Amino acid sequence: MHNRNEIYVNGAWVRPHGTDRLEVINSATEEVIGTIPDCNPVDVDAAVAAARAAFDSWSTTPVADRVKCLNLIAEGLAARGETLGDLLSAEVGMPVLMARQIQVGFASAIFAATASVLENYEAEQTLGKSLIVREPVGVVAAITPWNFPLQQSSAKVALALAAGCTVVLKPSEITPLGVCVLAEVIDEVGLPPGVFNLVLGSGPGVGEALVAHPDVDMVTFTGSTRAGKRVQQLAAETVKRVTLELGGKSPNVLLEDADLPAAVTNAVHKAYFNSGQTCSALTRLIVPRSRLAEVEELAKQVAESIPMGDPTSETSVLGPLVSDLQRERVRGYIRTGIEEGAKLITGGPEAPEGLERGYYVRATIFSEVTTAMTIHKEEIFGPVLAIEPYDTEAEAIEIANDTIYGLAGAVWSADRARAIAVARKIRAGQIEVNGGDFNLIAPFGGYKQSGNGRENGSIGLEEFFEIKSLQL
């Protein structure tokens, strides 16, 4: 059992004032694997006060010292890669090899990449007769989701610390255990007391107290669009800076000259990554009507060949969803798709054969999905792919943009220049062209109701600065 009894405040592990406990569930076995304290506003006050007291000193710490700290955190996470990956696999349900590579590997790489960005970043510039100075925004509240708990926490903490901000981190209460290990690593590195603080507990209780706190200068939040709206409302009372990385319903446009076997194989895996529990998942496959039958058959073959099962097995690619609530939500969307007349290609709402225990959902594909259907409009957050046919390139772009979201997308074409031209017309924060790889230093974030602000790299770093003009 991974029972946590303390939170990390002002450079020490301390007992919280909140006395309630929250359980952490293994999504494959449905068994309790740990507990955490449910903090209360008094604990939030203590963490914020520690961050506020540490700010003046940390904000003036030399860049070289901050770079060293970030690199040491990266090394500390990497050194725990196997055991930490196993823990995150149990929490999230991601197969263990992927958890080690992505959940932990990306987290470590983010700290290292941020150190490199900071080392080469010019925080001051001359503009005419003015000196433009970038200064850390202050105390940052970082609130992170359950699907990539360590990676998302690392993205926020690394950038905030790099900029010279102090941090109070609250991870999701559903998957907090791996993030507690991040706090252990940071403690071992020896940051000054109060620079980094960790509180644990629920969103309505702890998260809202943190967002509303008058001594917090900035909130960086990743989660659902519904919760993001609540964060923005609370933060508005004190006119805090807010960056939001929210939901998505990302389109994957296959032009008629695309290499279908390559594109469809990639598309199915991108839709199902982390069992579809990815905000930027490419969940809408927009294809030429003339090639619809071919795409359906290819997608069916790929989906049915993906190994699903015990995430501790090194052969599993699809694991369970994170919770019973999430499983039932996704099954509800699958039933809605069937009721609204979408063509079920494979999968369905029933439990996968032999996997009745654990929060598993069958890898599902719908075709002939229209823009009027719920599964076209709403984020499902499970292994469900919607195939949507089009007749013209202009219609494909229209379907791609027919969403309140704008987080991610993709375009496939044998003509790279044509694919880029179409990508420029999709209203989203990052577009893959012919399966382009994720870049840890490229900005990540969304248009429309997918949020505001960006993470990663030098552009993400700028979110944590105030801009001052010295008129000389």
**What angle in degrees, to the nearest 10, is found between the helix axes of 177-189 and 149-163?**
30
Query: Is the CB of residue 1 less than 8 Å from the CB of residue 31?
Result: no
Structure tokens at 64: 């070289």
**Buried b / exposed e across 96-123, counting CB within 10 Å, b at 16+?**
bbbbbebbbbbbbbbbbbbbebbeebeb
Give which of 223, 162, 169, 181 is closest to 85, Cα–Cα. Answer: 181
> Residue 295, CB half-sphere, CA atoms under 13 Å: how many?
33
Give which of 254, 201, 291 is closest to 415, Cα–Cα. Answer: 254
Neighbours of 418 (CB within 10 A): 14
> Residue 138, CB half-sphere, CA atoms under 13 Å: how many?
15
Residues sharing a CB contact under 8 Å with residue 229, sequence separation 6 or more, in sequence order: none
Active site residues: 245, 279
CA pair distance 146, 156, nearest whole angstrom: 14
Give which of 60, 28, 114, 2 is closest to 310, Cα–Cα. Answer: 28
CA pair distance 285, 252, nearest whole angstrom: 5
Tell me, what amino acid is at 125? Q
Tell me, what amino acid is at 320? P
CA pair distance 202, 171, nearest whole angstrom: 9
The alpha carbon of 445 is separated from its chain's Cα centroid by a whole number of angstroms, namely 10
DSSP-assigned letters across all residues of 332-400: HHHHHHHHTT-EEEE--SSPPTT--SSS----EEEES--TTSHHHHS---SSEEEEEEESSHHHHHHHH
CA pair distance 131, 458, nearest whole angstrom: 20
Residues sharing a CB contact under 8 Å with residue 375, sequence separation 6 or more, in sequence order: 333, 336, 337, 340, 342, 366, 369, 384, 386
Q: For the chain, how far is it from start to end, CA to CA, in angstroms?
A: 61
